Amino acid sequence: MRLQAMMATYGIQTQTPHEVEPVQIWPPRELVKVYQNLGVSEKLGLQGRPTRPIGALGTSKIYRVCGQTVLCYPLVFEVSDFYLSHDMALLIDDIKSELHFVGKYWRLSGRPTVCVLIREEHMRDIHFRELLDLLAQLKTGYCDGLKVRTGRLQNLISSSCIEHLDFMSTLDVDLDIKAFEQLQHASIGYQSLTDVPRAITYSEDSMSFKVGCVSVSFDLVVVLRV
């Protein structure tokens, strides 16, 4: 893949969704769907877990769901139409805050595993080099004083915190789970940052404009051990 090839030129190890198989990468909202079935009882009138987001500690676990192994990426990588979700400086700060929060409050057995996602849209951001600097810093084993470890998911999963959602095997429910999928490209294309076109700068009429909603797929996975 062209994004993975470009990241490799900077010495940053990444994996595509195909390369982490049979582990599936889920958006956190899909895990919320699963937890909605926790404790459901029509007889007792119980409706299960409320549809609250899964926090940083929850997305740092490996899950076993109906025979499948699942890792969720953190909420900070969820794409929305709100402009702050496209702010590279804010994303970098959120990643650091996420790692420090997990490192400070993790109390479970097994080690936390954090999934960092990189998408092609990031390459076109004028501050993408700052994200590269962060990834290079993580590669050294430290993030602002916090000790971390990067590696292939297959090498880290044996010591990860694994939670078995056994309640799903006893339920007869049909969940519409949309796992994270890999983008397909005809050629590698970009080999360095100089090959990546910057985002087009344009102006809109100040009185009337429309915002188009774009569905964006992620390309690469960087797995961290905190």
pTM of the model: 0.75
Q: What local confidence, expressed as pLDDT, does residue 72 receive?
A: 92
- pLDDT tens readout for residues 124-149: 788 888 989 999 899 888 888 899 98
What's the rounded Cα separation, in Å, for the pair 65 and 68?
5
Q: How many domains does the chain have?
A: 1
Least confident stretch, 53-57, 170-174, 212-216: 212-216
In a domain, 188, yes or no: no
62-65, strands of its sheet edge to edge: 24-26, 68-72, 62-65, 162-164
Residue 219 maps to a domain: no
> What's residue 65's pLDDT?
87
Q: Domain range spanning residue 6?
A: 2-180
Average pLDDT over residues 98-102: 93
Q: Does a structural domain hold residue 189?
A: no
| Degrees to nearest 5, angle at CA 163 with 77 and 183 | 35
| Distance in angstroms (rounded) separating the CA atoms of residues 179 and 25 | 6
Within 10 angstroms of residue 26's Cβ, the number of other Cβ atoms is: 25
* pLDDT greater at residue 58 or residue 182: 58
Distance CA 205, CA 181 (A): 36
- Evaluate whether residue 221 is within a structural domain: no
Q: Does residue 201 lie in a domain region?
A: no
Which of 135-144, 193-202, 207-216 reaches the highest mean pLDDT?
135-144
DSSP letters spanning 175-221 = -----------SS---SSGGGSPPPPP----SS------------EE
Q: 195 lies in a domain? A: no
- Digit-coded pLDDT (tens) for 23-65: 989 899 889 988 888 887 788 888 888 888 999 999 999 999 8
Residue 197 lies in a domain: no
How would residue 100 be classed by pLDDT, with cut points 50, 70 and 90?
A: very high
> Looking at the domain assignment, is residue 98 inside a domain?
yes
d(CA 196, CA 6): 10
Residue 65 neighbours by CB distance under 10 Å: 21
User: What is the per-residue burial (b if ≥16 Cβ within 10 Å, else e) of 87-121?
Assistant: ebeebbebbbebbbbbbeeeeeebebbbbbbbebb
